[in-house]
Amino acid sequence: MASSDLPTAVEALTLQTTSETSKFPNCFPSLNPVDIYREHIAQKLGEATGIDQEKIYSRLQWTSTLDKGDLVLPVAALQIKKKPQELCEELAAKFPESDLVLPPSCFGVHLQFFFRPERLTHTVIRRILKEKAAFGTNGNLGLKDPSDPSKGSKKMIVEFSSPNIAKPFHAGHLRSTIIGGFLANLHTVMGWDVIKMNYLGDWGKQYGLLANGFKRFGNEEELLKNPIGHLFDVYVKINAIVSEQDAPIKALKEQIKAKKEKNEDASELEKELAPLVDASEDEAARRYFKSMEDGDEAALALWRRFRDLSIKKYRETYARLNIDFDVYSGESQVKDESMKAAYDTLEKSGVAEKSDGAVIVDFTKHGAKKLGKAIIVRKDGTPLYLTRDIGAITERDEAYHFDKMIYVVAAQQDLHLAQLFKITELMGHKELANRCQHINFGMVRGMSTRKGTVKFLDDVLRDVADKMHEVMQKNEEKYKQIEDPKATADILGITSVMVQDMSGKRVNGYDFNLEAMTSFEGDTGPYLQYAHARLCSIIRKANLGAEDLDSANLDLLTETQAHDLVRLLSSWPDVLVNTMRTLEPTTIITYLFRMTHILSSGYDTLRVVGSEPEVLKARLALYASARQVLNNGMRVLGLSPVERM
């Protein structure tokens, strides 16, 4: 079994693969303990009943709670012409004596299988202690061709975060960052070759505004100290002037429109309007941006400087969230020729049409009425977001030859992404469109700083860290033992934000609640970290080495709490496989909280302090396994597990 480290910001995410083969699809008994049992049940039940073993194997299901068994077989899914209840009882009676599973029982029309705890305990704990960070990972699932590993891994681009330079990094960007980072980690531990891409909003007339604003209000020292904050201040100031100038311009335009509607002469008003427009900051910004588009080196140099300084600052913020991007792309990077090639294709194929001087796609004419109409080129000949996105899709396909590309973008952009994929298809790239997927999410309500204003992510994270620091200081004794309380408070603050974000389904929005998410009560980020720190403390105080745990007599783990914890630990590889289907971080979060609940309810029964030396070793091996799986799960989510708090 080969294990290789992966270059990723999430330390200790390692990956295991196997060259073993099974007659069952996606069955890896040496990587996933539950596959041993699936294979066993399918073979034994198939031999005893004559039912196709592969049919049985593919229909065995996970259970939502341990009292329902470790695996269940919904007998109706076997499609055998018999009353399901009768068939269930017949299959239960025919299942032979087994050293791995207890005799199955019927629960309605489900055949329930419970694993024999002794064998499972040995298999699971030994594996976790040996495989450590690699336990649960499966590089085989990311292979292009499972029958020929030499063809390599499937390649995925995850485009996420994508803030606009000089604008606040708001809640939508935060959600995109958290979800995108998680999806990148998940696919990495399942063997995909993942490229993390940040597609910045870094082009357009607003950069003309920003450049002109910087000449008036900019400060070199402030720019170097806090580029994003300073550029935002400049942007706000110049926009205030634009709004002021806009009022009389707008009023004159209305008067001109009214006169023209009455067929009256509006030339005097037009003469009055022209110098106002010409002298406006908005027009100056348009001219500046035109010079950028025309390749004016001085204009581009300033824009490049803003972009580079902003990216440098973003990198620091992303590092706090355990994220590093492989590629900083952006609207500015999309080549004109890619967009032109897209127009030409759309025009030649008759997909695009002229409308009032603009070029549009009318989706109703292409069997997609719900998508309405989309402008591809404005009247003045300038491209839109959509045009750049069309160019970007084809460029990325040529550059990366990806197997899948995921866009992690808020649900408000559902229509935009649906139009993008449909246009890609209409251009003759149906297969490319099918390799793209939009992962959407709901909005965050009320994300603001203590000062009450929606501000930058750094401000919000600082607030949450301060709140966690206040909470930590309440326990003086524990506080003294923490080496760097401020750094720990920062990690706990970030954990609380991320766990609150990932606790519900992605598509659901939520209220940003500082009090609730920094609480140690209930299923919160701090509680998850507390569970990890408590396990670290138990292991630390016992002061035993790895060799002591390896030689532990696991037959001494006879309590129901120990067996239930082992059963849950055994399902971690399955949880990852299931998460590949749901693409929901809450699938993992829910599992980790189930584990913390079993742990906390068992600490009294499975005491370490004061136990017999051999019992102590066995329980410690169990706790070390639980800590490892909890750590693995937290890292896939993008969290940094703490050892003391």
Check 55, 68, 122, 170 and give the catalytic one.
170
Q: What is the pTM of this model?
A: 0.91
Residue 8 confidence (pLDDT): 36
| Structure tokens given for 136 | 């649960």
Residue 102 falls within a domain, yes or no?
A: yes
Instruction: Examine the fold and report which residue of 76, 110, 134 is the final residue of a domain before the chain moves on.
Output: 134
Which CATH number do you get for residue 97? 3.30.1360.70
Residue 4 confidence (pLDDT): 35
Residue 477 confidence (pLDDT): 87
pLDDT tens-place string over residues 227-269: 888 888 898 899 889 888 888 888 888 888 888 888 888 788 8
Q: What are phi and psi of 191, to 5 degrees?
A: 90, 5
Whether 167 is catalytic: yes
* Domain count for the chain: 2
d(C-alpha 309, C-alpha 165), whole Å: 10
Residue 576 falls within a domain, yes or no?
A: yes
Whether 230 is catalytic: no
3-state secondary structure of 334: coil
d(C-alpha 521, C-alpha 511), whole Å: 18
Residue 574 falls within a domain, yes or no?
A: yes
Which amino acid appears at position 307 of this protein?
A: R
Residue 41 falls within a domain, yes or no?
A: yes
DSSP 8-state class, residue 144:
S
Check 44, 173, 429, 563 and give the catalytic one.
173
Check 68, 94, 132, 167 and give the catalytic one.
167
Whether 597 is catalytic: no
Answer whether 140's CB lies under 8 Å from 190's CB: no
Instruction: Examine the fold and report which residue of 134, 167, 199 is the final residue of a domain before the chain moves on.
Output: 134
Residue 58 falls within a domain, yes or no?
A: yes
Residue 23 falls within a domain, yes or no?
A: no
Q: What are phi and psi of 560, to 5 degrees?
A: -60, -40
Contacts of 329 (CB under 8 A, 6+ apart): 159, 197, 198, 199, 200, 392
Nearest to 181 by CA among 13, 330, 313, 322: 322
Residue 332 falls within a domain, yes or no?
A: no
Instruction: Examine the fold and report which residue of 134, 168, 203 is the final residue of a domain before the chain moves on.
Output: 134
d(C-alpha 365, C-alpha 218), whole Å: 50
Residue 418: in which H helix or E strand, if any? helix 414-426
Q: Is 290 exposed, middle or buried (0-12, 13-18, 19+ CB in 10 A)?
A: middle
Q: Extract the residue ranges of the chain whose pLDDT is less than 50.
A: 1-11, 449-452
Residue 510 falls within a domain, yes or no?
A: yes
DSSP 8-state class, residue 95:
P
Structural domain including 526 reads: 457-637
Residue 447 confidence (pLDDT): 66
Answer whether 447's CB lies under 8 Å from 460's CB: yes
Which CATH number do you get for residue 575? 1.10.730.10
